[in-house]
Amino acid sequence: MIAQAILSLLLSGVLVYAWAEYRRSPVVASLSVAVSLAGLFFVWVPSESTRVAEFVGIGRGADLILYLWVCISLIVLLNLHLKLRTQQDMITRLARAIALANVVTPHEDVMGAVPDVPQPQTGAPPAARAHRSTQMDDQIA
Amino acid sequence: MRSIAPSSVWVICPAFNEATTLPRVLKELRDAEYKVVVVDDGSSDDTPRIAAATAAAVISHPINLGQGAALKTGIAYALSQGAQFLVTFDADGQHRISDIACLLEALEGADFALGSRFLQGSQQIPLIRRHLLRAATLFTIATTGLCLTDSHNGLRAFTRRGATALSLRQNRMAHASEILADIARSGLRHVEVPVTIEYTRYSMQKGQRTADFIMILLDLFAQRLYR
């Protein structure tokens, strides 16, 4: 009875999470709801899991749940991976925007790279840096 | 024959902790009168200071993002400066400056000129490296349909139109394959040009480790998943 109470509590937590998550990603939320409802059902009627397991050709209900759990974990991992990639993509764009806003053009006077910009310190020593912001938002996107 | 003035060419030099080789590379590039933009990819050594002494422009990533990201940053900058021709050039000293002219010449009938170390015979390429590169080339042919002899050469030249067609979403080393996929998709013409790679102990140490090829495959696979 104690185990059932704890499991029910945890699974209810998943339900609440799914509800909160629904607007951000309906697919993940729906899957979570399905999984936690199935979990609640099996927690309270364990014999049913054995019936389902036998129906799909697996010996015990506990085995069935273990296999399902492995699959669900893999899907969650994949989802996390994709989220990380998105984050990395955002960080890249942020870092690139910062870098392109702080281009150092030390030899503008020598190279004449950008004629339309006032030239900084003519005859400055090579190591002297001329910081200059460059407007190029269209290029960063 | 149209000849390309070096001053209309931007050489993009991604550099991550290349303080050892960068001075020589930059000096040679400057002597050849190319415009050079060094993309310092979050180096912790003297790379940005050394670059500022010679290059026309230095862009510093605040954090290390990877060579693909550095190339993209450099290309975006060069395009914003009105570059008509763009060259990618590794900062570790493995390329020859004189090869750039050959690539630019090849852009006469194409939008992409790609360096290949396998087009001319008798080059000193370490054995394992040679086999890995062969495998990478086969992979490229299988996935993009481009018939190339060397799919992972850091020396390339693009026209402005060509550079605009590149997406470069791969931050790390998988960008080499990605560039080729973009070239295939763009439908623009490409040519391969024989170039020489200098395999020094330094460049072998700095360059790709053999195990990195596995990560490259993973990166490419992951991109397929969510494109």
CB-based contact B80 A139, cutoff 8 Å: yes
Structure tokens at B90: 């590794």
Cα B45 to Cα B142: distance, rounded to the nearest angstrom? 40
* Amino acid, res. B51: A
Phi/psi-derived region of residue B105, left when phi > 0, alpha when psi is between -120 and 50, beta in every other case: alpha
Residues A105-119 have a mean pLDDT of 55
B10 vs B144, more confident = B10
Cα B28 to Cα B37: distance, rounded to the nearest angstrom? 14
Cα B155 to Cα A95: distance, rounded to the nearest angstrom? 25
> What pLDDT shows up at residue B210?
67
> What pLDDT shows up at residue A112?
45
Whether the pLDDT of residue B84 is over 80: the answer is yes
> What pLDDT shows up at residue A107?
74
Closest CB from A78, A105, A139 relative to B56: A105
Tell me the whole-structure pTM to 2 decimals.
0.74
The predicted-structure confidence for B166-225, as pLDDT tens digits, reads as follows: 988 888 778 888 899 899 989 999 999 988 888 777 766 666 666 777 777 777 777 666
> What pLDDT shows up at residue B203?
67
Q: Which residues, including other chains, have CB under 8 Å from residue B12's CB and lie 6 or more apart?
A: B37, B39, B71, B74, B75, B78, B86, B87, B88, B89
Closest CB from A88, A99, A113 relative to B171: A88
Cα B70 to Cα A86: distance, rounded to the nearest angstrom? 18
Average pLDDT over chain B reads 86
> What pLDDT shows up at residue B29?
92
Residues B102-117 have a mean pLDDT of 91
Q: Chain B partners of A88 at a C-beta cutoff of 8 Å?
A: 171
Cα B65 to Cα B129: distance, rounded to the nearest angstrom? 25
Minimum CA–CA partner of A108 in chain B: B56
Average pLDDT over chain A reads 78
CB-based contact B62 A98, cutoff 8 Å: yes
> What pLDDT shows up at residue B54?
87
CB-based contact B81 A140, cutoff 8 Å: no
Residues A10-38 have a mean pLDDT of 88
Q: Chain A partners of B65 at a C-beta cutoff of 8 Å?
A: 91-92, 95-96
> What pLDDT shows up at residue A32?
87
Cα A105 to Cα A118: distance, rounded to the nearest angstrom? 12
Cα B132 to Cα B129: distance, rounded to the nearest angstrom? 5
The predicted-structure confidence for B32-60, as pLDDT tens digits, reads as follows: 989 999 999 999 999 999 999 989 999 99
> What pLDDT shows up at residue A58?
86
| Percent of chain A with pLDDT strictly greater than 70 | 76
> What pLDDT shows up at residue A28?
80
> What pLDDT shows up at residue B197?
84
Best residue of A86, A94, A103 to probe chain B, by most B CBs closer than 10 Å: A103
CB-based contact A99 B62, cutoff 8 Å: yes
Question: Which 8-state DSSP code applies to residue B92?
Answer: T
Structure-derived torsion over alpha carbons of residues B104, B108, B114, B119, reported in degrees to the nearest 10: -100
> What pLDDT shows up at residue A96?
95
Closest CB from A95, A129, A136 relative to B65: A95
CATH fold label, B6-226: Spore Coat Polysaccharide Biosynthesis Protein SpsA; Chain A (3.90.550)
Whether the pLDDT of residue A115 is over 70: the answer is no
Q: Is A117 on the interface with B (CB under 8 A)?
A: no
Which residues 61-80 of A have a C-beta within 8 angstroms of B?
Answer: 78
- Looking only at Cα atoms, what is the longest distance across chain A? 87
Structure tokens at A38: 């199935």
Minimum CA–CA partner of B75 in chain A: A139
B67 vs B209, more confident = B67
Distance from CA of B59 to the nearest CA of A (A): 5
Residues A126-140 have a mean pLDDT of 43
Give the SS3 label for residue A112: coil
| Percent of chain A with pLDDT strictly greater than 90 | 22
Minimum CA–CA partner of A110 in chain B: B56
Structure tokens at B206: 């700095």
B6 vs B162, more confident = B162
Give this complex's ipTM: 0.80
Whether the pLDDT of residue B165 is over 60: the answer is yes
